[in-house]
């Protein structure tokens, strides 16, 4: 049988090749090979799919037309963040990530993928410098699964069954963690100080015991405040024999205390703000790091690129093969993880970003985010009936706005802003009813003063 | 381990591989081999790049030095010790790194079996990089992302058709995450029926490691069955013996990583259902059977695909990939949220499923990869998908025919025809020459051909070799791969030293594992610097 179809992605569909190869195999048609699938299981129907292949031009036209129905944050002035942050993406990041070799490599070994491993090692190294942590994994899916991996590590290391978490957390992240870590842990929630949104330390102390495997903190918190008590939380956790897991935003670490500075045992976070586009939430980079002690490194369930010697003295091999078997490929039924293919390309991109900014650029990045968010919060908070920021104390690049005093709901404000070409902050009314008509606004280095002023004017207008 | 004199031509990558020059298989390959230092070693302190916008004076004047106002304990005490280089130097470094990387596009890439290395069309990259994808925020109101939802819904419909299923989620970040999503749904399903006592998942040792691993992560006990020595299948009797009233379900790969399609799979599904369990199929290896079989028709309740394997999205140096899970109606309610719905005129995100497992990752899933996969299916059409699978199977069976002529090489389960890939063994070569599969693979790198995947554990097949010539591979590629195997086998029998000391003209030489524990392996430059003060 010959379908006679010549397809641009399939070199052997050129005429004559099929017959020649089938003859070599010794079968009359490929159907003979498919007899491996029992007849009653073979699909014989017609699929409700477009049948014929399409040309590249037709594919491009059709998809461009569909995508044209979207309204992008290039056209709408957006203040959405909440885990997917709109930062400036330098041209070099896309250039390097678009290099065919990086884009299409996968499972080569040290002798032919030296460059891919070197680039990932450098990502790990720069991330280690930012975090002040000695061991960094190559990449995990996203910040949430990185938190899950960190929690599993703590469970394995301590053998304890309780995990202490802040009450004030992204409910979506919490849901994912309960899926991932649920079978191994009882979550114990620490209440937050209603004035600051930070962990209530008295409650934290009360909830710690010899059952506590780890205290998990987020810095900045989900609602944007800087967890200024991290060092104190670390001390309290360690005094109870528990580990400290710090989930951080790498973009903040030029200015905020890195996890290593407050003696976190395991650090995690999402590297998307390091020059990766928002891409409808689909460009993620899970960051996972730990201290360089056997109990940590040997339970870290992800690939890591390390330096090993080679058969030539003085030569370095960058390789992911060091104790590969400790991850799920080797552990199989004893494993507690799932990430095989993860996010290396995004790690390489984040590496380019960190290299470009350098230490001073990371300080500038952190400073600009804090300044612009502070400016926006202050100006919005000056509007009649609008409270911003809802929490006292320093914020990184997000803050909560409460519209209760205007008689409008957060959803109403957002709908009215959209009519003015603005995407307001994430409506968190359902997530945290106690906060009132609340929305979470994100302002980064990439918002200009006039854009912020435009937002303030628009909020003023729609809440009047 | 044989050590090589750093000054010898062999260590330098050699102007030529004297063992290879002028042989029929000499591809002319000389690895690009820069003596490229790390960015740290190239760093010139004080270099900066003005990438970010300046903060306006009006803002600075209004808020002052917000960083200095932080409590000291909350402030970074010292600047990060990162490298400092100019933009052109950084680009050059990464260009060199990319030159020292073997991408799918770099050459003959059929070696990496179980990975389904196929061509990733560039038009798909361009489409997914349009602002209409790249500049969308996942929390935008539905009415502003109708285009993306239409594509997700379209891809959902196609996958439902291809899988014989009723609903799809794109939440999983990869194949392993897809299996994990299945495991969570199985757990939730039994919980909803008040049958939490069902705590065992059955799998097979030739199923991908993510099947047992994710079942374990979801809290199940895992029973791993070994394939029958003759058929390569799980076997009805073994399965019956493993089934009990504690059976939560079965999670297995189809076809297996060995290329064997388990012919009794529908019967397993029947038995597991009869015992009250759930059937989850891992069809990351879907590439050889598109339009030929559908998981739903075999009795599976759920199935996952890898968009980065079968559906052409690039492997990205090891991700980001994407997993898609398709389920039968009875499991729709358990899916992670949101699911995309269509009311006849508009698309919606529904996060309100009463038994939903909630979230497994962030936001709407790997949206850019869904766009790429959608573009690929559009370019293929049903006819193209069928053709692609046929070629994956023809290429593989042609490879088998040719490779079995190589001295010292055998195939596992020789009485079975294989679909998309096969697991070969160099055990005989190893016994007769001392050259093992790792040596063989290192030597293969010298030809400028992608190295091969050996095997997952457990290594049921000794000295394993697992290539996978997808439909993107030409007959010439297969012939070249086979010729390299003949050449290396001949070397092994005549002068094994050549193979045992390989590679000879690749980028670096073999790594040596001489550590007692991982704390002795530097995973960051800060550790390297501390432990290697002299560089
Ligand atoms: C059969 C099978 N299942 C699952 C996976 C895991 O996929 P991922 O690496 O995306 O987690 C693979 C990987 O190639 C596979 O071959």
pLDDT, tens digit (0-9, with 9 covering 90-100), for B94-109: 999 999 999 999 999 9
Residue B291, phi-psi category: left (phi > 0), alpha (psi -120 to 50), beta (remainder)? left
Please check whether residue B354 touches A, CB under 8 A: no
Q: Which two tokens stand for residue B140?
A: 């935008």
Q: Which atom of ligand 1 is nearest to the CA of B257?
A: 1
Pocket probe mutation, ligand 1, options A301, A324, A341, A343, max atoms within 8 Å of Cβ: A341
Average pLDDT, whole number, for chain A?
A: 96
Tokens standing for B281?
């199929």
- Contact between B429 and B440 under an 8 Å Cβ cutoff? The reply is yes
Q: Is residue B411 within 8 angstroms of chain A, CB to CB?
A: no
Mean pLDDT on B406-416: 97
CB A284 within 8 A of CB A270: yes
Interface of B with A in 228-257 (CB under 8 A): none
Q: What is the 3-state secondary structure (H, E, C) of A227-251?
A: CCCHHHHHHHHHHCCCEEEEEECHH
- B506 touching A (Cβ < 8 Å): yes
What local confidence, expressed as pLDDT, does residue B496 receive?
96
Q: Do A3 and B525 touch (CB under 8 A)?
A: no
Condensed to tens digits (0 to 9), the pLDDT of residues A254-295 reads 999 999 999 999 999 999 999 999 999 999 999 999 999 999
Report the SS3 class of residue A369.
helix
The pLDDT, as a whole number, for residue A339 is 77
Confidence of residue A54 (pLDDT cuts 50, 70, 90): very high
Mean pLDDT of chain B: 94
CB contact under 8 A, B56 and A102: no
pTM over 0.90: yes
Q: Looking at residue B8, what is its pLDDT?
A: 55
Q: What is the ipTM of this complex?
A: 0.97
Q: What is the pLDDT of residue A189?
A: 98
pLDDT for A324: 73
Q: Which of A132, A311, A328 sits opposite B4 (nearest CB)?
A: A311
Nearest-angstrom CA–CA distance, A142 and A288: 10
Residue written as tokens 């539905």? B142
Of A68, A105, A114, which has the smallest distance from its Cβ to B315's Cβ?
A105
For residue A84, list chain B residues with Cβ-Cβ distance below 8 A: 137-139, 362-363
pLDDT category of residue B28 using cuts at 50, 70 and 90: confident
How would residue B535 be classed by pLDDT, with cut points 50, 70 and 90? confident
Q: How far, in Å, is the centroid of ligand 1 from the Cα of A287?
A: 21
Residue range A91-355, CATH number = 3.40.640.10
What is the average pLDDT across B62-79? 96
Tokens of B303: 């199935």
- How many angstroms is it from B305 CA to the middle of ligand 1? 9
B410-411 sheet: strands from edge to edge: B410-411, B424-425, B464-465
Instruction: Identify the pLDDT of residue B255.
Output: 95
The stretch B299-306 carries a mean pLDDT of 98
Residue A152 has pLDDT above 70, yes or no: yes
Q: How far apart are CA A402 and CA A410, in angstroms?
A: 8
Q: Which residues of A touch B417 (CB under 8 A)?
A: 33, 35-36
Return the percentage of chain A with pLDDT > 90, whole number: 94
pLDDT at B364 over 90: yes
Cα torsion angle, B256, B261, B264, B269, sign? positive
Would you say domain A77-86+359-462 falls under CATH 3.30.365.10? no
Question: With a CB-CB cutoff of 8 Å, which residues 77-96 of chain B face chain A?
Answer: 77, 79-85, 87, 90-91, 93-96
Domain residue extents for chain A: 77-86+359-462, 91-355
What secondary structure letter does DSSP report for B254?
S
- CB contact B68 to A (< 8 Å): no
Average pLDDT over residues A142-158: 96
What is the bridge-based pairing of β-strands B200-204 and B247-253?
parallel
Which residue among A70, A294, A338 places its CB closest to the CB of B179?
A338
Residues A283 and B368: beta-carbon distance below 8 Å? yes
Average pLDDT over residues B165-169: 98
**Does the pLDDT of residue B18 top 80, yes or no?**
no
pLDDT confidence tier of residue B21, bands split at 50, 70 and 90? low
The ranges assigned to domains in chain B are: 9-33+420-519, 39-99, 131-135+142-378
- pLDDT tens digits, B372-405: 999 999 999 999 999 999 999 999 999 999 999 9
Give A275 Cα–ligand 1 centroid separation in angstroms. Answer: 28
pLDDT at A125 > cutoff 60: yes
Q: What is the pLDDT of residue B14?
A: 45
CA-closest candidate to residue B223, choices B245, B252, B201: B201
What tokens appear for B446 in the block? 């010298």
Distance between CA B531 and CA A129 in Å, rounded? 16
Phi/psi of residue B276, nearest 5 degrees: 90, 10
**A431: which DSSP letter?**
T
Question: Are A256 and B391 an interchain contact pair (Cβ–Cβ within 8 Å)?
Answer: no
Which residue of A lies nearest to B262 if distances are taken between CA atoms? A37
Segment A293-343, tens digit of pLDDT: 999 999 999 999 999 999 999 999 999 988 777 788 888 888 888 878 999
pLDDT > 70? residue B9: no
Residues A96-114: what's their mean pLDDT? 97
Tell me which chain B residues have a C-beta less than 8 angstroms from the C-beta of A173: 359, 362
Whether the CB-CB separation of B518 and A323 falls below 8 Å is answered with yes
B35 touches chain A (CB under 8 A): no
Q: Residue B147's pLDDT is what? A: 98
> Do B334 and B353 contact (CB within 8 A), yes or no?
yes
B475-494 vs B437-445: helix axis angle to the nearest 10? Answer: 120
What's the Cα-to-Cα distance from A7 to each of A30, A55, B275, B454, B470, rounded to whole Å? 18, 10, 46, 31, 14
The pLDDT-based confidence of B457 (bands split at 50, 70, 90) is confident
Mean pLDDT, residues B415-424 taken together? 96
Which pLDDT tens digit goes with each residue over B238-292? Answer: 999 999 999 999 999 999 999 999 999 999 999 999 999 999 999 999 999 999 9
Find, in chain B, the residue whose alpha carbon is nearest to that of A335. B213
User: Which of B123, B177, B260 faces A60 most closely, judged by CB atoms?
Assistant: B123
pLDDT value of residue B3:
60
Q: Work out the average pLDDT over B134-147.
A: 98
Rounded to a whole number of angstroms, the CA Rg of chain A reads 26
Q: Which atom of ligand 1 is nearest to the CA of B308?
A: 10
Asked if B174 has any chain A CB less than 8 Å from its own CB, the reply is yes
Name the CATH topology of B131-135+142-378: 3.40.640
Whole-number CA gyration radius for chain B = 26
**B403 lies within 8 A of chain A by CB:** no
pLDDT (tens digit per residue) in A187-208: 999 999 999 999 999 999 999 9
- For a mutational test of ligand 1's pocket, the pick from B104, B114, B178, B303, i.e. the residue with the most ligand atoms closer than 8 A to its C-beta, is B114
Pocket perturbation via mutation, ligand 1, pick of B183, B288, B306, B317 by most ligand atoms within 8 A of CB: B306
Determine the residue among A115, A184, A286, A287 to mutate to test chain B binding: the one whose Cβ has the most chain B Cβ atoms within 10 Å: A115
Is there an atom of ligand 1 within 6 Å of B178 CB? no
Q: What is the dihedral of CA B233, B238, B239, B240, to 10 degrees?
A: 140
- Give the residue-averaged pLDDT of B423-437: 98
Q: Which of A66, A277, A358 sits opposite B49 (nearest CB)?
A: A358
Beta strands in A45-203 (DSSP E): 77-78, 135-136, 162-166, 186-190
**pLDDT beyond 50 at A2:** no
Query: How far off is chain A from B112, nearest CA to CA, in Å?
Result: 7
Atom of ligand 1 nearest to the CA of B285: 1
User: At B29, is the pLDDT very low, low, confident or very high (cuts 50, 70, 90)?
Assistant: confident
On whether the CB atoms of residues A268 and A246 are closer than 8 A, the answer is yes
Of A43, A115, A231, the CB nearest to B297: A43
Q: Is the pLDDT assigned to residue B16 strictly greater than 50?
A: no
The answer, for B53 touching chain A at a CB cutoff of 8 Å, is yes
């Amino acid at each position: 049988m010959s379908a006679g179809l010549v397809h641009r992605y399939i070199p052997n569909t050129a005429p004559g090749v099929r017959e020649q190869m089938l003859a070599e195999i010794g079968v009359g048609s490929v159907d003979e090979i498919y007899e491996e699938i029992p007849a009653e299981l073979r699909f014989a129907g017609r699929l409700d799919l477009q049948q014929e292949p399409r040309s590249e031009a037709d594919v491009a036209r059709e998809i461009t037309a569909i995508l044209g129905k979207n309204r992008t944050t290039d056209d709408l002035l957006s203040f959405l963040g909440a885990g997917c942050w709109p930062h400036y993406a330098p041209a070099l990041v896309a250039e390097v990530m678009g290099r065919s070799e990086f884009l299409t490599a996968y499972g080569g070994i040290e002798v032919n993928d030296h460059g891919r491993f070197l680039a990932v090692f450098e990502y790990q190294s720069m991330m280690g410098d930012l975090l002040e942590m000695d061991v960094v994994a190559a990449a995990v899916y996203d910040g949430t699964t990185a938190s899950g991996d960190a929690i599993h590590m703590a469970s394995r290391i301590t053998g304890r069954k309780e995990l202490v978490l802040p009450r004030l957390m992204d409910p979506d992240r919490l849901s994912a963690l309960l899926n991932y870590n649920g079978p191994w842990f009882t979550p114990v929630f620490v209440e937050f100080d209603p004035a600051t949104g930070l962990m209530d330390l008295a409650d934290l102390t009360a909830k710690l015991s010899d059952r506590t495997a780890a205290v998990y903190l987020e810095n900045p918190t989900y609602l944007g405040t800087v967890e200024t008590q991290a060092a104190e939380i670390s001390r309290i956790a360690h005094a109870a024999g528990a580990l400290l897991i710090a989930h951080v935003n790498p973009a903040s670490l030029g200015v905020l205390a890195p996890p290593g500075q407050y003696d976190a045992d395991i650090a995690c976070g999402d590297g998307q703000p390091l020059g990766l586009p928002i891409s409808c939430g689909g460009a993620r980079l899970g960051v996972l790091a730990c201290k360089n002690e056997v109990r940590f490194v040997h339970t870290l369930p992800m690939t890591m690129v390390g330096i090993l010697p080679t058969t030539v003295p003085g030569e370095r091999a960058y390789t992911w093969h060091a104790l590969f078997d400790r991850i799920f490929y080797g552990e199989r039924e004893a494993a507690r993880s799932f990430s095989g293919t993860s996010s290396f390309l995004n790690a390489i991109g984040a590496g380019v970003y960190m290299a470009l900014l350098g230490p001073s650029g990371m300080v500038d990045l952190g400073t600009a985010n804090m300044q612009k968010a502070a400016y926006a919060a202050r100006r919005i908070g000056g509007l009649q009936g609008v409270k911003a920021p809802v929490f006292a104390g320093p914020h990184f690049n997000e803050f909560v706005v409460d519209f209760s005093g205007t008689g409008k709901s957060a959803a109403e404000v957002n709908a009215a802003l959209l009519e003015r070409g603005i995407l307001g902050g994430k409506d968190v009314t359902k997530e945290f009813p106690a906060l009132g008509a609340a929305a979470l606004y994100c302002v980064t280095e990439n918002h200009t003063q006039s854009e912020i002023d435009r937002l303030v004017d628009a909020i003023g207008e729609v809440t009047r | 381990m044989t050590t090589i004199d750093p000054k010898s031509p062999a260590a330098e990558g050699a102007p030529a591989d004297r063992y290879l020059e002028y042989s029929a298989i000499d591809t002319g390959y000389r690895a690009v081999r820069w003596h490229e230092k790390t960015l740290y070693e190239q760093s010139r302190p004080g270099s900066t790049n003005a990438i970010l916008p300046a903060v306006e004076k009006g803002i600075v004047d209004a808020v002052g030095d917000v960083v200095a106002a932080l409590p000291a304990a909350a402030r970074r005490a010292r600047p990060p010790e990162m490298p400092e280089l100019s933009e052109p130097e950084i680009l050059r470094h990464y260009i060199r790194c990319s030159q020292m990387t073997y991408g799918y596009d770099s050459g003959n890439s059929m070696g990496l079996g179980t990975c389904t290395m196929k061509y990733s069309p560039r038009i798909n990259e361009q489409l997914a990089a349009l602002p209409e994808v790249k500049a969308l925020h996942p929390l935008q109101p539905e009415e502003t992302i109708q285009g993306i939802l239409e594509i997700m819904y379209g891809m959902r419909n196609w996958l439902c058709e291809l899988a014989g299923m009723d609903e799809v989620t794109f939440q999983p970040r990869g194949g392993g995450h897809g299996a994990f999503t299945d495991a969570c749904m199985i757990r939730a399903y039994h919980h909803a029926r008040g049958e939490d006592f069902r705590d065992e998942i059955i799998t097979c040792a030739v199923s991908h490691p993510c099947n047992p691993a994710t079942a374990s992560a979801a809290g199940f006990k895992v029973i791993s069955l070994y394939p029958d020595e003759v058929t390569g299948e799980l076997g009805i009797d073994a399965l019956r013996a493993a089934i009990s009233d504690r059976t939560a379900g079965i999670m297995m790969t189809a076809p297996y990583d060995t290329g064997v399609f388990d012919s009794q799979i529908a019967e397993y599904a029947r038995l597991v259902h009869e015992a009250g369990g759930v059937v989850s199929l891992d069809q990351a290896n879907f590439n050889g059977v598109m339009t030929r079989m559908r998981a739903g028709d075999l009795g599976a309740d759920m199935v996952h695909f890898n968009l980065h394997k079968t559906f052409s999205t690039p492997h990205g140096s090891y991700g980001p990939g994407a997993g898609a899970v398709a389920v039968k109606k009875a499991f729709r309610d358990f899916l992670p949220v949101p699911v995309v719905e269509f009311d006849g005129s508009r698309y919606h995100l529904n996060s309100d499923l009463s038994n939903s497992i909630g979230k497994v990752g962030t936001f709407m899933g790997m949206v850019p990869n869904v766009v790429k996969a959608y573009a690929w299916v559009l370019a293929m059409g049903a006819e193209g998908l069928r053709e692609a699978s046929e070629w994956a199977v023809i290429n593989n069976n042609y490879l088998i025919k040719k490779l079995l002529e190589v001295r010292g090489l055998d195939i596992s389960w020789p009485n079975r025809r294989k679909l998309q890939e096969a697991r070969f063994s160099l055990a005989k070569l190893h016994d007769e020459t001392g050259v093992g599969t790792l040596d063989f693979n290192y030597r293969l790198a010298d030809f400028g051909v992608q190295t091969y995947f050996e095997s997952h554990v457990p290594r049921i097949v000794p000295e394993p070799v697992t290539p996978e010539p997808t439909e993107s591979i030409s007959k010439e590629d297969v012939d070249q791969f086979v010729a390299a195997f003949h050449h290396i086998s001949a070397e092994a029998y005549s002068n094994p030293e050549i193979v045992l000391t390989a590679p000879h003209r690749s980028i670096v030489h073999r790594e040596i594992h001489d550590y007692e524990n991982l704390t002795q392996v530097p995973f960051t430059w800060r550790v390297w610097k501390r432990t290697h003060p002299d560089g």
